[in-house]
Amino acid sequence: MSNETSSSPLQGIASAEHNRAHGGSTLSGQQLHLADNVVSRETRRRVVAASFIGNFVEWFDYAVYGYLAVTIATVFFPESDPQTGLLLTFALFAISFLVRPLGGFVWGHIGDKVGRRTALSLSILIMSAATFCIALIPGYDTIGIWAPVLLLMIRVVQGFSASGEYAGASAFLVEYAPANKRGLYAAVVPASTAAGLLFGSLIAGLLTTMLSTEAMHGWGWRLPFLLAAPMGLIGRYIRTKLEDTPVFRELAAEDETIKAPVAGLFRNHWRLLLKAVGAVLLNAVGFYVILSYMPTYLSSELGLGATESFLATTIALVTYIGFIFLTGMLSDRYGRKKVLISASITFILLTVPAFALLGTGNFLIIVLVQILLGAMLTLNDGTLPSFLAEMFPTRVRYSGFAVSFNLSNALFGGTAPFMATLLIASTGNDLAPAWYLVAAALISLVAVALSRETCREPLRHE
CA proximity to 88, closest of 80, 100, 99 = 80
**pLDDT at residue 60, as a whole number:** 84
- In this prediction, residue 25 has a pLDDT band, given cuts at 50, 70 and 90, of very low
pTM beyond cutoff 0.85: no
Helices (H), 114-227: 116-134, 140-143, 146-162, 165-176, 182-186, 188-210, 213-218, 223-226
Separation between Cα atoms, residue 278 and residue 449, nearest integer Å:
11
- In this prediction, residue 462 has a pLDDT band, given cuts at 50, 70 and 90, of low
Segment 365-378 mean pLDDT: 91
- 292 touches 63 (CB < 8 A): yes
Structure confidence by residue, pLDDT tens digits, 128-167 = 888 889 889 998 888 888 888 888 888 888 888 888 888 9
Name the burial class of residue 46, with classes exposed (0-12), middle (13-18) and buried (19+) by CB atoms within 10 angstroms of its CB.
middle
How far, CA to CA in Å, does 128 sit from each of 59, 109, 222, 225? Answer: 11, 22, 14, 9
CA proximity to 291, closest of 311, 315, 317 = 317
- The answer for residues whose C-beta is within 8 angstroms of residue 237's C-beta and 6 or more apart is none
* 131: amino acid identity, one letter: T
**Least reliable range by pLDDT among 83-97, 193-207, 242-256, 324-338:** 83-97
- 96 touches 414 (CB < 8 A): yes
How far, CA to CA in Å, does 104 sit from each of 91, 155, 202, 396? Answer: 21, 16, 30, 12
CA proximity to 183, closest of 383, 460, 457 = 383
Separation between Cα atoms, residue 324 and residue 375, nearest integer Å:
8
- Return the higher-pLDDT residue of 402 and 22: 402
Separation between Cα atoms, residue 461 and residue 258, nearest integer Å:
11
Structure confidence by residue, pLDDT tens digits, 418-431 = 888 888 888 888 89
- In this prediction, residue 35 has a pLDDT band, given cuts at 50, 70 and 90, of very low
Q: Across all residues in the chain, what is the average pLDDT?
A: 83
Torsion angles phi and psi, residue 362, rounded to 5? -75, 125
Separation between Cα atoms, residue 296 and residue 303, nearest integer Å:
10
Separation between Cα atoms, residue 288 and residue 159, nearest integer Å:
15
**pLDDT at residue 20, as a whole number:** 39
Domains of the chain, earliest start first: 1-38 (no CATH), 39-449 (1.20.1250.20)
- In this prediction, residue 194 has a pLDDT band, given cuts at 50, 70 and 90, of confident
- Return the higher-pLDDT residue of 303 and 357: 357
CA atoms within 13 A on the CB side of 164: 26
- Residue 116 clears pLDDT 60, i.e. is over it: yes
Share of residues in the chain with pLDDT > 70 (%): 89
Torsion angle, alpha carbons of 290, 293, 294, 297, to 10: -140
Torsion angle, alpha carbons of 153, 155, 161, 165, to 10: -170
CA proximity to 120, closest of 192, 53, 42 = 53
Give buried/exposed letters for 100-115 (b at 16+ CB in 10 A, else e).
Answer: bbebbbbbbbbbbbeb
Structure confidence by residue, pLDDT tens digits, 372-417 = 998 999 999 999 999 999 999 999 999 999 999 999 988 888 778 8
- Return the higher-pLDDT residue of 293 and 398: 398
**pLDDT at residue 28, as a whole number:** 40
- Residue 74 clears pLDDT 90, i.e. is over it: no
* 428: amino acid identity, one letter: G
